[in-house]
Structure 1
Amino acid sequence: MIGLCLGLAGVVWAEVPTTEFTLAWTHTIEKIRWEEDYRVTPQGLRLDAARIRGTGAGMEVPDGAVLRDGSWQYHPQLPVLPQLRLGRTPEAGDYQLCQAGACRPLADWLGPPRHERPAVEVWPCGQ
């Protein structure tokens, strides 16, 4: 099974055995939750769907989004991504990695966000 690697500059800090996950976070200023659904493929990470639970500064609702169950839901049209680079600092809070409806902070795999390590990359293991 393909999995998800967490690390930086190709150095793996943790592996998560999954082929699908949701990346979730709270906007640091507007305090509104964002969620993105990804599929892990040998070619990279495919963003299948996304949800925003409100709007605000820098949080415009994309064209074609539909308000359903309290969130603006849409399907981004992006190519498969080789990796994601996520900023992680103590002030911004942490991302959550959700699988099968259960969400856990990245800190469960990587420890808390630290100034000395302000970013993490996410990519398919074995890529």
Structure 2
Amino acid sequence: MSGCVMAGALALGLAAGNRFTLEWTHSVEREAWRETWEVADHHLHLVEAAVKGSGAGMEPGPGGHFQDGWWIWVPDLAPVAELNLAASGMTPSAWRLCGADCVDLGAEPGEALRIAACEGDGKP
């Protein structure tokens, strides 16, 4: 598996370690949320989560610590085959997906966005 994820029809190369980040602004609390994912064995594994504040649905997980303005923790979740992101166009920010480069997704209303691991030729 090479370092690539598909986000809809877009193939995005990954940074070192086959990792990418997904960042957005929480729709109710208006605070930043960031997740770091790793691609391994055709699956996505959440390796770190971070929030800028706390509130409705934004409480830091067990073992969280405060660093550089973020509450950071390591979620205990099983790897998943894909992520599905809503694209209502009604949230305060787009989804910001960063691998080797960054792209904003779902700022306008549309179909849900599927993020999944892909082969080096950009195919899921």
Which sections of structure 2, spanning at least 5 residues, go unmatched? Answer: none
- 2:83 is equivalent to residue 104 of structure 1: no
How high is the TM-score relative to the length of structure 2?
0.83
Which whole-Å deviations, capped at 9, do the CAs of 1:60-116 have from their partners, x for residues lacking one?
22121111111110001111111011111111131001235x643126xxxx422xx
Q: Which residue of 2 aligns with 1:118?
A: 111
Matches within 5 A, 1:15-34: 15-18=11-14, 19-34=18-33
Q: Aligned Cα RMSD in Å? A: 1.8
Q: What CA distance in whole angstroms lies between the structure 1 residues aligned with 2:38 and 2:56?
A: 28
Q: What CA distance in whole angstroms lies between the structure 1 residues aligned with 2:4 and 2:99?
A: 12
Q: Which residue of 1 aligns with 2:70?
A: 71
Q: What CA distance in whole angstroms lies between the structure 2 residues aligned with 1:69 and 1:2?
A: 28
Q: Which residue of 2 aligns with 1:50?
A: 49
How high is the TM-score relative to the length of structure 1?
0.81
Matched letter for residue 113 of structure 1? E
Runs of 4+ in 1 over 3 A off after TM superposition: none
Number of aligned positions between the proteins: 115
Which sections of structure 1, spanning at least 5 residues, go unmatched? Answer: 8-12
Identical-pair percentage: 30
Tell me if the contact between 2:49 and 2:75 (Cα under 8 Å) persists in the aligned partners: yes
Q: What CA distance in whole angstroms lies between the structure 2 residues aligned with 1:103 and 1:122?
A: 14
Q: What CA distance in whole angstroms lies between the structure 2 residues aligned with 1:50 and 1:23?
A: 10
Tell me if the contact between 1:43 and 1:80 (Cα under 8 Å) persists in the aligned partners: no
